[in-house]
Amino acid sequence: MSDVHIHKVPKAVADHAHINKEVYEAEYQRSIENTKGFWDEKAREFLTWSKPWDVTVEHDFPKGEVKWFTGGKLNVSVNCLDRHLETRGDQPAIIWESDDPAVDKTYTYKELHAEVCRFANGLKAEGVKKGDRVCIYMPMVAEAAIAMLACARIGAVHLVVFGGFSPDALKDRLLDSEAAVIIVADESVRGGKAVPLKANADQALKSCPSVKSVVVVQRTGGSIDWTDGRDVWYHDLLENASDDCPAEEMDSEDPLFILYTSGSTGKPKGVLHTTGGYLLHAAVSHKYVFDYHDGDVYWCTADVGWVTGHTYIVYGPLANGAQTLMFEGVPTYPDASRFWKVVEKHKVNIFYTAPTAIRALMAKGDDYVKTCDLSSLRVLGSVGEPINPEAWEWYHKVIGGGRCPIVDTWWQTETGGILMTPLPGATDLKAGSAMQPFFGIEFGLVDNEGNEVTGNPAEGILVIKKPWPGMFRTLFGDHQRYIDAYFANYPGMYFPGDGARRDKDGDYWITGRVDDVINVSGHRMGTAEVESALVLHPAVAEAAVIGYPHDIKGQGIYTFVTLMDGVEATDELRQELVNHVRKEIGPIASPDVIQWAPGLPKTRSGKIMRRILRKISENLIDELGDTSTLADPSVVDDLIANRPSQ
Ligand code: ATP
Ligand code: MG
């Protein structure tokens, strides 16, 4: 591709930041050479332990064994709440912005603490004990975070299921986790529309015998069915509960939560995270990656149903005593200026979102942005997919006014927290690159045989060479799958399933999922590069690229293209796009098929599901696989109906 422009760290940002270039280089070096010493120090600085640990880290990857801070005791809710009461009890902890632009509510640390304690007592009254699984199936209301923290307080293991999931998807997760209790809202509200959450839960619960009680948060007051003896109102539980709830002393390695991954690549996996290491990674990365300073207003737009919501709305920010904004609505309601109106209203300093949202808002044009005052913004973030350079530049210029660094953060549900990212005050930026390892993380690139590819530039399969505190400890109920999927392919290393390229400066570019790699006449290509080349064209809003069987080349390149609002899909444009990709990357990347796609199949968290596109390209419509996590199934029907003849 054309030469990469480097955005230097602005001096004002570097001067203000916790970490500048020199500090990053020295601290990163130390974190690799003396991993134990580095994390020991951070664990003392960032967390409050009721008993110190005996051993910092032990691991045996081939056996799937990882332990951090063995023997240490702490409680996550105490770290997120109690210890802040003296210093910042009256400071906002959660700023809740409703779907309705006229409604918001702030919880101070004192108020949040009191409600968490009361609800924790309420859960105990429902019979919940340490180690029990509690499902949280909720909209983006503060009670979702309160429920998570209440579970943590009494040692129950929560599993948050995204409120947009169907009764079937909910049922699968309840059965797999054998949850004892589910916490649900009567309805959720998104984009002005109510969704019947309680009715969905009732449907799922018909075949989930382990669930003994259903706690219902009243969000809309809409009518719901009620099962006496099983269902209980959240507000009734609170009314009868004391706000004094001593926290359960947890072992560092006790489970904190299970979270089923979004399912871009197949059957959801119950990723299990534990207590001490996870919270430490959440806190340290939140502070340094977003350069959080006391008093900042921080907003991560993810849903609590995703790991990003766990680590970077709830646990990381609250462990750091931050002000964290929770948004119930969608970016396009009442119109496409909503995100920016919220930034203006709450004077947001740090804003963290996903490429899918940026691309969607970019396609709506700049007028929605221009009417809003975004001068409070200081740092921007991106997560979930590779961000196309075109979208990056728009985010940087139009949203960030050219002055806010963008942290493109690479990580996974499994990793617990961010592992690869620029740091705002330390890293010169390249649009589309996740740049550098976070502290304590040592990446490698390997070829198909597992041999390390050294030197720069280099390309290969991304691996991680040693454990980090936030990594998951097992797949719930299936430890063998944990070993097989993550540690068996490249012995002694963790295999995330993504490919990457290291450029001549040693900066990393995620090229896409290894499963999605395309092989054209023996040339291997990541999906990200071809997609980004297409998005670079002014007519293209979004693109997905896959390989399909091709008689001569082995695989051909099949692209699905969503055009900008108002652009007409013509044969001339098709040819122009082919030429454009040839020019940007080379003839080898020339698309063989371009299908116009009014929408792309995405997970509920907004990631493109290329495995479904592969089936569509091959006309294997009966083999689409698990589609329960698709955001909008009608998109798939449209693509099937409009397959071009090849
Ligand atoms: P499943 O594993 O069930 O298929 P999933 O991988 O979509 O689901 P997540 O854990 O939410 O579930 O997503 C992690 C993946 O998202 C990464 O492995 C990577 O492919 C992609 N990803 C996340 N952040 C970035 C980023 N900044 N740049 C590029 N890719 C990213
Ligand atoms: Mg994954």
How do residues 410-423 score in pLDDT, each as one tens digit? 999 999 999 999 99
Supply the DSSP symbol for 643: P
**In angstroms, what is the span from residue 407 Cα to ligand 2's centroid?**
20
CA dist., res. 215 & res. 237, Å (int): 9
Place of tokens 């997609």: 531
602: exposed, middle or buried (Cβ count in 10 Å: 0-12, 13-18, 19+): buried
Q: Whose CA is nearest to atom 18 of ligand 1?
A: 412
514 in contact with ligand 1, CB cutoff 6 A: no
Please report the atom of ligand 1 found closest to the CA of residue 510.
Answer: 29
412 in contact with ligand 1, CB cutoff 6 A: yes
**In angstroms, what is the span from residue 68 Cα to ligand 1's centroid?**
24
Supply the DSSP symbol for 314: I
Task: For ligand 1, pick from 172, 176, 258, 262 the residue to mutate: most ligand atoms within 8 Å of CB.
Answer: 262
Q: What is the pLDDT of residue 645?
A: 73
> pTM of the prediction?
0.95
Cβ-contact 539, 563 below 8 angstroms: yes
Range 521-642 has CATH code 3.30.300.30: yes
The residue among 628, 413, 636, 611 whose CA lies nearest residue 512 is 611
Please report the atom of ligand 1 found closest to the CA of residue 434.
Answer: 27
531 in contact with ligand 1, CB cutoff 6 A: no
**Each residue's pLDDT tens digit, 532-560:** 999 999 999 999 999 999 988 889 999 99
Please report the atom of ligand 1 found closest to the CA of residue 421.
Answer: 27
257 in contact with ligand 1, CB cutoff 6 A: no
**In angstroms, what is the span from residue 308 Cα to ligand 2's centroid?**
13
420 in contact with ligand 1, CB cutoff 6 A: no
Can you give the residue ranges of every domain in the chain?
521-642
**Each residue's pLDDT tens digit, 354-406:** 999 999 999 999 999 999 999 999 999 999 999 999 999 999 999 999 999 99
Q: Is 147 left (phi over 0), alpha (psi -120 to 50) or beta?
A: alpha
434 in contact with ligand 1, CB cutoff 6 A: yes
Residue 359, marked binder: no
**Each residue's pLDDT tens digit, 449-477:** 999 999 999 999 999 999 999 999 999 99
**Hey, what's the torsion of the CAs at 138, 141, 147, 153, to 10 degrees?**
150
Cβ-contact 594, 578 below 8 angstroms: yes
**Each residue's pLDDT tens digit, 99-131:** 999 999 999 999 999 999 999 999 999 999 999
**In angstroms, what is the span from residue 457 Cα to ligand 1's centroid?**
24
| Ligand approaching nearest to the C-alpha of 603 | 1
**In angstroms, what is the span from residue 414 Cα to ligand 1's centroid?**
9
CA dist., res. 175 & res. 439, Å (int): 37
Other residues' Cβ atoms within 10 Å of the Cβ of residue 448: 9
User: Which residues, in sequence order, are bridge partners of residue 519?
Assistant: 524
**In angstroms, what is the span from residue 118 Cα to ligand 1's centroid?**
36
Structure tokens at 452: 């390390």
Structure tokens at 485: 């999927």
Alpha-carbon Rg for the chain in angstroms? 24
Q: What is the pLDDT of residue 283?
A: 99
User: Which residues, in sequence order, are bridge partners of residue 455?
Assistant: none
CA dist., res. 80 & res. 112, Å (int): 10
Cβ-contact 353, 381 below 8 angstroms: yes
Q: What is the pLDDT of residue 68?
A: 98
Place of tokens 């706000």: 243
* Residue 280 parent element (H or E): helix 276-289
